[in-house]
Amino acid sequence: MAKNNNNKIFKASWTYDEAPESTDHIQIKKQYELYIDGKFTKPVKNNYFDTTNPSDGKKIASIAEASTEDVDKAVKAARKAFKGWAALSGKERGKYIFRIARLIQERAREFAVIESLDGGKPIRESRDIDIPLAANHFFYYAGWADKLEYAFPNRDPKPLGVVGQIIPWNFPLLMAAWKLAPALATGNTVVLKPAETTSLTALKLAEIIHESGIPKGVVNIVTGAGETGASIVNHPDVNKIAFTGSTGVGKYIQKATAGTNKKLTLELGGKGANIIFEDAAIDQAVEGIVNAIFFNQGHVCCAGSRLFIQESVADLVIEKLKRRMETLIVGNPLDKNTDIGAINSKKQLKTIENYIKIGINEGGEIYQPECKFPTQGNWCAPTLFLNVSQSHRIVQEEIFGPVLAVQTFRTIDEVIEKANNTPYGLSAGVWTEKGSKIFHLTQKLNAGVVWGNTFNKFDATSPFGGYKESGFGREGGLHGLKPYVKFE
C-alpha cells in the first residue's frame, strides 16, 4: 500500500466554529403518499419504506412504495389529463409553470434544508446551487411555453403525450426540474419517479404543484425502487421515457423500449477529464479541480474525476492541491462550513471504498487528508490517486465519489488521446490562458459539455448531455424542448 503520510505539514492551525442551519422552519410528515390524479393517495398494496438521513442513519419519514397497479393508475390519470393540458394555450400553461417556479423560490430555504437532510449534500450547495437552479429551469421553460413556434420555425411541434421520467439521488429536486419543466411547457403530462433514497423534495414539490392549481393528472409523482421504475418503462401507454442514472440501468431501459414507439433520452454516467495546461492560472485551476471532483461528494455524473496536468507544472499543481485538500471540511451537511457532506447511502459508500482498495492494490499512490468524521453516518475522505495509468480501473470506471485519479501529459495530442480513452463522453474541462487552445479542444474532446477555465457550471439556458455510454439527448436550453415534441 503506497500512502503519503506527510499530511500534517499542510494542516491549518485554526478551525471554524460550528454554524448549523436551523431545521425549525421545515415541515416533514411522518408518512408520504403517492401523488396521483391531483391528490395524495395510499399505495394499493399499502407498502412503505424508510428514507434516512445519511449523516446519522436516523429515519426521516416513511415513503409510499408504488406497485405496478399504482403506476397504471398514474399513467391513466396522465392520459386522461393530456387532452385538456395539450389544448391549453402556451400562455396558460406557462402561467402554471411560472407559478411553480415562484413557489419554489418562496420555500427555497425549506427545500434546501430537506435536500441536505435527505441526500447528505452540504447546505451551501443545496441553498446556493440546487434550489435556485431548479427554480430557474421552471422560470426558463415557462417563458418558452408560448413561443414554441419560434423554437421550431415552420415545423408545427406537437406534444408526445404521457411521459415517464426517472431521476437519480444526487440532485433530486434539480433533476425533477430538468425533467418536468420542458415536458410541461410543450404540453405533455408526466409520471415522475424520484430515487428511493431521496424522495422527499420530489414529494414536497408535489405539494407545490398541487398548490399551483395545475389541472389534476398533469403531474403524477410515484415513489419506489427499481421495480417501480421498470413499471413506468414497460407501461404500454407511455409515449416517452426520460432517464437520468447509471449506464447499466440505461442499457436495460434502451433494450426494454427497443421495438416500441416510445421516444427515449438517457443521461448516464461519466468519467470527465479535467485538463490543466502549463499556462493556466494555477491557483484558479486548483479551485476548479476541487469543485470538479469534491462538489456533492463526487456524486456528479459529469465530475472531473480524471485530472490531466501538463508535466512541467505537475509537481506544483499537486502540491497546491494537497494543501487545498487539507482545508476541506468533511462533516455535518447542515453546517454552513462543511465542504464535503455525507455519502448518500451505505451501499454507495461501500462501492467507493471498494474502488479505493482497487486503486491501492493496482499500485496507485493514495493521498488523503486527515479527517475527523462524526461517529455515525456515511463518510469518505477526499482522495487523490497518483502514479496511475490509463489501464487502472479507477481511471476507466465511474466511482461516483470523492476520488480523483491524476495523470500527466506533455503535448496537446497526447492529452486528447488520453482524455478520449474512455467509454464515456459526458464532460471535460480545459484550463489555459489561450482561448484558441480551449476552442481547439472543444472540437477534439468526445464530451457533450466542455468547460473553459471553470467546471460544473450549469444554467437553464444551456444544453447538457453526453455521447457514447454517457447517453443521448439533451436537457436544458432550447435543445431541451426537442425530446418532448413531435413534428407532423
Residues with Cβ within 8 Å of 161's Cβ and at least 6 positions away in sequence, in order, are: 79, 82, 188, 189, 239, 240
Strands 383-386 and 365-367: antiparallel
CA–CA distance, 117 with 368 (Å, rounded to integer): 26
What are the start-end ranges of the H helices in 68-130? 68-87, 90-106, 108-119, 123-125
CB of 122 closer than 8 Å to CB of 341? yes
CB of 308 closer than 8 Å to CB of 464? no
Bridge partners of residue 475, in order along the sequence = 464
CA–CA distance, 350 with 371 (Å, rounded to integer): 18
Question: Which backbone phi and psi does 69 adopt, to 5 degrees?
Answer: -65, -40
Residue 267 is among the residues annotated as catalytic for this protein: yes
Q: What angle do CA 199, 203, 41 make, to 5 degrees?
A: 110
CA–CA distance, 385 with 388 (Å, rounded to integer): 7
Largest CA distance in the chain: 67
Please count the CA atoms within 13 angstroms of the CA of 95 that sit on its side-chain side. Answer: 8
Query: Catalytic residue among 110, 301, 380, 398, which?
Result: 301
CB of 130 closer than 8 Å to CB of 122? no
Grouping H, G, I as helix, E, B as strand and the rest as coil, residue 341 is coil
| Of the candidates 262, 80, 98, the residue with the CA atom closest to the CA atom of residue 184 | 98
Grouping H, G, I as helix, E, B as strand and the rest as coil, residue 172 is helix
Q: Which three cell numbers stand for residue 68?
A: 405496478
CA–CA distance, 71 with 31 (Å, rounded to integer): 19
Q: How far is CA 389 from CA 320, 334, 362, 385, 394, in A?
A: 22, 38, 10, 10, 9
CB atoms within 10 A of CB 171: 28
Residue 488 is among the residues annotated as catalytic for this protein: no
Grid cell 429515519 is found at: 59
Q: How far is CA 82 from CA 140, 177, 239, 264, in A?
A: 22, 19, 12, 19
Grid cell 429536486 is found at: 173
- Known catalytic residues are 267, 301
